[in-house]
Amino acid sequence: MFVLNGYEYFLGFVIVCALVCAAAIVLSTLLAPRRTGVERRTTYESGMEPIGGAWIQFNIRYYMFALIFVIFDVETVFLYPWAVAFNQLGLLAFIEALIFIGILVVALVYAWRKGALEWS
Amino acid sequence: MNLADGVQLVSFAVLAAMMLGAALGVVLLANIVYSAFLLGLVFVSMSGMYILLNAGFVAAAQVLIYVGAVNVLILFGIMLVNKREDFAPVKNVWLGRAATGAVCLGLFALLGTMILATPWVISIAPPAGDDAMVVIGKHFFSDFLLPFELASVLLLMAMIGAIVLARRDLLPDELADQDGREPPVALKLPERPRELISGKK
């Protein structure tokens, strides 16, 4: 038994999105001129000239940002029910959520002081 | 069977096909970056399954954490180490594949018998549906308050640990080149020299 509301619109959006993607690919295969050559194989034919290969090793800095992002993503998931039930929870829950956020602000300050947020 | 049931059945079939296909792609494709992207597709179809099971919050958490964060982390991990190197082919590679296949089949048989042997008790209580989020929020701030606050301490610990490990602050002093010498080759990690160069600026 399915009890959630509003997901019929979600399903409609998913179907429309899938159809748009499929139509873009099918139409471009049908309509695009078939020429071959070096220019044809670049990512954007009339864009910037690509420099080097795409399969390069990434900078380790990206990994640091991804790690910090994971932590705050999990925090968001914890705060999500609080935000939805905010009107029914009252002041005490607000203070408790502030404590929760405050402990994580310590983590943010630590990351900031350690230079993890800087692109050196 | 009315329309809603039919739509649910079709959605379940499409999601299951997507999940199985993507999972097979994760295992079988040779390019590990494609495997990581297909893993994201597995997670997305799993969240669709959660929606079909009336678990909206779990579906949102699945998309937020697994697709948004864990999969991105896996992709960055792959792209950090994804160097094209010419590895020598392993001898007797079929032996390793046969052993892996045997272990996987055994695990599959074990889980299959476990699922078939478990007497699944289906709750007769009506599902909370759209109110589930409010119920979870109320539990967070009443009887599950301590675990909720401890979760933030856990996140703090994870964050500090991740920063300490990723910055390699704990590398012994004699390895860090104080007088300009390169650290011994055998002991240095691939990304360590770049860290030293960026740290000196």
Give me the CATH number covering residue B47: 1.20.120.1200
Give the CB-side neighbour count of residue B27, counting CA atoms within 13 A.
9
Confirm whether B131 is domain-assigned. no
Q: Would B52 be classed as within a structural domain?
A: yes
- Long-range contacts made by residues B97-105, C-beta under 8 angstroms, separation at least 24? none
Asked if the model's pLDDT at residue B199 lies above 50, the reply is no
B106, B122, B138: which is the final residue of a domain? Answer: B122
Chain B residue numbers with beta carbons less than 8 Å from the beta carbon of A93 are 137, 141
Q: Give the H or E element holding residue B46.
A: helix B32-52
* Residue that is last in its domain, among B107, B122, B137: B122
B107-127 pLDDT, tens digit per residue, is: 999 999 999 999 988 888 887
Q: Which residue of A has its CA nearest to B164?
A: A114
B 135-164 residues with CB < 8 A to A: 136-138, 140-141, 145, 148-149, 151-153, 155-156, 158-160, 162-163
Q: Which of residues 27-86 of A touch B (CB under 8 A)?
A: 55, 57-60, 62-64, 66-71, 73-78, 80-82, 84-86
CA distance A47 to chain B (A): 25
Q: Whole-angstrom Cα distance, residue B55 to residue B147?
A: 21
User: Three-state SS for A11?
Assistant: helix
The stretch B156-167 carries a mean pLDDT of 84
A60 vs B119 pLDDT, higher one: B119
Is the same domain home to B52 and B109?
no
Predicted confidence at residue A26, as pLDDT, reads 95
In this model, does residue A19 exceed pLDDT 90?
yes
- CB atoms under 10 Å from CB of B169, counted, come to 9
pLDDT at B108 (0 to 100): 94
Do B52 and B13 share a domain, yes or no? yes
In terms of domains, do B73 and B99 share one? no
pLDDT value for B77: 82
> By percentage, how much of chain A surpasses pLDDT 90?
24
Tokens for A103, please give them.
């402990």
Token pair 């199985």 is at which residue?
A: B20
Co-location of B74 and B109 in the same domain: no
How many domains in chain B? Answer: 2
Q: Same structural domain for residues B25 and B74?
A: yes
Question: Residue B114: inside a domain, yes or no?
Answer: yes
> What is the pLDDT, as a whole number, of residue B167?
73
- Give the per-residue pLDDT at B75: 87
Regarding predicted confidence, which is higher, B31 or B83?
A: B31
If asked whether residues B75 and B17 sit together in one domain, one would say yes
- Chains A & B: contacts with CB separation below 8 Å: 161
Does a structural domain hold residue B72? yes
> Token match 């993607």: residue?
A21
Q: Do B127 and A1 touch (CB under 8 A)?
A: yes
Q: How confident is the model at residue A18 (pLDDT cuts 50, 70, 90)?
A: very high
DSSP letters spanning B81-141: H-----PPPPTTHHHHHHHHHHHHHHHHHHHHHHHHHS-PPPP-SPP-GGGHHHHHHHHHT
Cα separation, A67 vs A114, whole angstroms: 14
Residue B201 lies in a domain: no
B84-88: long-range contacts at Cβ-Cβ below 8 A with a sequence spacing of 24 or more? Answer: B84/A55
Local confidence band at B87 (pLDDT 50, 70, 90 cut-offs): confident
**Pair B76, B45 in one domain:** yes
Instruction: Kindly state whether residue B15 falls inside one of the protein's structural domains.
Output: yes
Contact residues on chain A for B73, CB-CB shorter than 8 A: 63, 66-67, 70
- Provide the pLDDT for residue B36: 93
pLDDT at B86 over 80: no
CA distance B109 to chain A (A): 30
* Host domain of residue B18: 8-82
Q: B194 or B75, which is more confident?
A: B75
Q: Sign (positive/negative) of CA torsion A109, A110, A115, A116?
A: negative
Chain A residues with beta carbon closer than 8 angstroms to that of B68 = 73
> Contact B82/A55, CB-based, under 8 Å?
yes
Do B37 and B76 lie in one domain? The reply is yes
Instruction: Note the pLDDT of residue B32.
Output: 86
Is residue B82 scored above 70 in pLDDT? no
Share of chain B above pLDDT 90, in %: 37
Residue B157 pLDDT > 70, yes or no?
yes
Put simply, the chain B residues between 87 and 116 with a CB less than 8 A from any chain A CB are: none
- Tens-place pLDDT, residues B46-71: 999 999 988 889 999 999 999 988 99
Residue B77 sits in the same domain as residue B13: yes
Q: Which of B59, B82, B105 is the last residue of a domain?
A: B82
In a domain, B143, yes or no: no
Same domain (yes/no): B64, B96:
no
Q: What are residue A17's phi and psi, to 5 degrees?
A: -60, -45
What's the mean pLDDT when you consider all of chain B? 81
Please tell me whether residues B15 and B77 are part of one structural domain.
yes
Residues B13, B34: one domain? yes
Question: In which band, very low, low, confident or very high, does the pLDDT at B169 lie, cut at 50, 70 and 90?
Answer: low
